[in-house]
Amino acid sequence: MGANSSTALGAASESSDGRIPAEHPGVTDLFAVLAYGEISAFYRLAEEAKLSPTLRGKVAVAKMAGNESEHFKTLEQALADRGVDVFDAMAPFVRALDAYHASTDPSTWLESMVKFYVGDGIAADFYTEIAGALAPEVADVVRDVLAETSHSEFVIEEVRTAVAQNRSERDRLALWGRRLLGEAITQAQYVMAQRDELTELVLVATGDLNGIATLFEHMQNSHAERMRVLGLA
Amino acid sequence: MGANSSTALGAASESSDGRIPAEHPGVTDLFAVLAYGEISAFYRLAEEAKLSPTLRGKVAVAKMAGNESEHFKTLEQALADRGVDVFDAMAPFVRALDAYHASTDPSTWLESMVKFYVGDGIAADFYTEIAGALAPEVADVVRDVLAETSHSEFVIEEVRTAVAQNRSERDRLALWGRRLLGEAITQAQYVMAQRDELTELVLVATGDLNGIATLFEHMQNSHAERMRVLGLA
């Protein structure tokens, strides 16, 4: 992290109740990376719906993508409330998120479903942990856009049914899930390295470097649990 | 229309206040064709967003498509309230709506924007006219899913700006708009011819064959007005 930014940010790092105040400049980055995450997930889902063998699958995906669109609007408004244009704010995150999606491009409908469930889960773990350290009005926005939806049930059902009768599919998707976790962590680190304000916010939210290590351990445990739920453990 | 269906439907055609009662079997068809319309528009929009030269365009499209997804959920619930599965109900309309989209596949971003604005408008004119004759609880659903959104402004701005400086683009898009109207009317007639219940509902709603002719005249006038708003008159 640059010396000048840590000086500038130091004063705004904690409010009197120990929460990171809404004015912390890392909050803008946090909303922005989430916003571009929603837009890129929207288009990935819409594209991958072509892999669906049924209209039922396409409808489920249209609903999931519709939720991403709603979440984007929430974040756009939250940024506007801070006087920030969503397009300016998202620009620094386009490359890392596009790279994540390019490196985890599903080639089958089931890979797409696993990516949706597992990728959403990894992101939710990370941001929910951060949200716990944020001023309530900021934490509310983050939790709102990460709220798990009923569509997870559709995904779980699709994957569990498919792998219950097919061991090689199960093994393949288990490897796929591991790769998703690896790529998500790689790209998250890349995002952090690019944005001093966001790094500072994450460090304050998790306590210190040990806190980050603990967070990543939690994320790996949750990931393992999600793989078990999908029948891929 | 088959003789047996007109007999069966006759009794349910009008309630005491002169409105078509919610129990009319054509209402199920009406909700179903609207539902598949939303899903097919969702995927068309998401696909055509690739033609957008800017992230701003992609975000605008994701919001429009998100609205289609919300509207689908409303219609799915309205059908469920009638004890009807949305997938069963949509099945008869898949071919006609897919054919409409296949015959009006935009090759440029501006064609896509014109199609969205003009196609939505044609559909809204038609269904709003029908809604006026329906029981209030049915009319509310129809109007809810047809409500014009603020995204129209984005489309108008995109198209007007582009054609103001480019006469050949304007002429090309004017022809495109005319073709959209023709294809929409062709496919609407095809849908009607397939579904006795829907035909009966439209006939009762418009009064008679003269009423249908008047409705189509209104639609052509509104279409001309929309073309003018887009700078394509």
Which residues are CB-neighbours of A116 under 8 A, at least 6 positions away?
A45, A64, A155
Asked whether the predicted pLDDT for residue B114 surpasses 50, the reply is yes
Say how far residue A150 (Cα) sits from the centre of its chain. Answer: 17
B7 band by pLDDT with thresholds 50, 70 and 90: very low
Nearest CA in chain B to A63: B69
Q: If we measure between CA atoms, which residue out of B74, B26, B72 comes closest to residue B206?
A: B26
* Cα B115 to Cα B118: distance, rounded to the nearest angstrom: 5
B76 band by pLDDT with thresholds 50, 70 and 90: very high
Q: If we measure between CA atoms, which residue out of B57, B69, B149 comes closest to residue B110?
A: B57
The more confident residue out of B173 and B129 is B173
Q: What is the pLDDT of residue B11?
A: 44
| Tokens found for residue A58 | 């396409």
Which amino acid, residue A172? R
From residue A224, give the alpha-carbon distance in Å to each of A174, A229, B197: 10, 9, 52
Q: What is the pLDDT of residue B149?
A: 63
Buried b (16+ CB within 10 A) or exposed e, B170-186: bebbbebbeebbebbbe
The more confident residue out of A7 and B54 is B54
> Which is it for the CA torsion B199, B204, B210, B216, positive or negative?
negative
Q: What is the pLDDT of residue B137?
A: 95
The CATH number assigned to the domain with range A25-230 reads 1.20.1260.10
Please judge whether A42 and B46 are an interchain contact, meaning their C-beta atoms are less than 8 angstroms apart.
yes
Asked whether the predicted pLDDT for residue B208 surpasses 60, the reply is yes
| Tokens found for residue B12 | 């349910």
* Cα A111 to Cα B64: distance, rounded to the nearest angstrom: 27
| Tokens found for residue A227 | 């793989």
- Please provide the size of chain A in residues: 233
B1 band by pLDDT with thresholds 50, 70 and 90: very low
CA distance B62 to chain A (A): 6
* A228 inside 8 A of chain B by CB: no
Q: What is the pLDDT of residue A11?
A: 44
* A65 inside 8 A of chain B by CB: yes
Nearest CA in chain B to A76: B59
Q: What is the pLDDT of residue A212?
A: 87
Q: What is the pLDDT of residue B72?
A: 97
- What are the residue boundaries of the structural domains of chain A, listed by start? 25-230
Q: If we measure between CA atoms, which residue out of B46, B66, B38, B228 comes closest to residue B124?
A: B38
Among the residue ranges B25-39, B145-159, B190-204, B206-220, the one predicted with the least confidence is B145-159
Instruction: Give A-chain residues touching B90 at CB under 8 angstroms.
Output: 55
Instruction: Give the ranges where chain A is alpha helix by DSSP (H).
Output: 3-10, 25-48, 55-81, 86-90, 94-103, 109-131, 136-146, 151-164, 167-194, 196-206, 209-229
Please compute Rg for chain B using Cα positions: 18
* B72 inside 8 A of chain A by CB: yes
Q: What is the pLDDT of residue A70?
A: 94
Q: What residue ranges of chain A have pLDDT lower than 70? A: 1-16, 148-150
Q: DSSP per residue over A214-227, as a string?
A: HHHHHHHHHHHHHH
* Cα B172 to Cα B175: distance, rounded to the nearest angstrom: 5
B187 band by pLDDT with thresholds 50, 70 and 90: confident
Q: DSSP per residue over B143-175, as a string?
A: HHHH---THHHHHHHHHHHHHHT-HHHHHHHHH
CA distance A184 to chain B (A): 23
Strand-pair partners of B134: B20
Of A56, A63, A86, the CB nearest to B69: A63
* Cα A137 to Cα A7: distance, rounded to the nearest angstrom: 25
Q: What is the pLDDT of residue B192?
A: 82
Among residues of chain B, what percentage have pLDDT more than 90? 75
B17 band by pLDDT with thresholds 50, 70 and 90: confident
Q: What is the pLDDT of residue B6?
A: 42
Of B49, B55, B69, the CB nearest to A87: B55
Reported pTM: 0.88
* B69 inside 8 A of chain A by CB: yes
| Interface ipTM | 0.86
Nearest CA in chain A to B85: A56
Q: What is the pLDDT of residue B10?
A: 46
SS3 of residue B87 by DSSP: helix
Q: What is the pLDDT of residue A5?
A: 43
Which residues are CB-neighbours of B193 under 8 A, at least 6 positions away?
B199
The pLDDT of B84-100, averaged and rounded, is: 95
pLDDT in tens, A92-141: 999 999 999 999 999 999 999 999 999 989 999 999 989 999 999 999 99
CA distance B74 to chain A (A): 12
From residue B173, give the alpha-carbon distance in Å to each of A126, B61, B116, B177: 47, 19, 13, 6
* Cα B104 to Cα B65: distance, rounded to the nearest angstrom: 18
Which residues are CB-neighbours of B155 under 8 A, at least 6 positions away?
B60, B113, B114, B116, B117, B230
Q: Is the distance from CB of B97 to CB of B38 less than 8 angstroms? A: no
* A62 inside 8 A of chain B by CB: yes
* A9 inside 8 A of chain B by CB: no
Of B47, B65, B87, the CB nearest to A55: B87
For A34, phi then psi, to 5°, come to: -65, -40
Please judge whether A69 and B56 are an interchain contact, meaning their C-beta atoms are less than 8 angstroms apart.
no
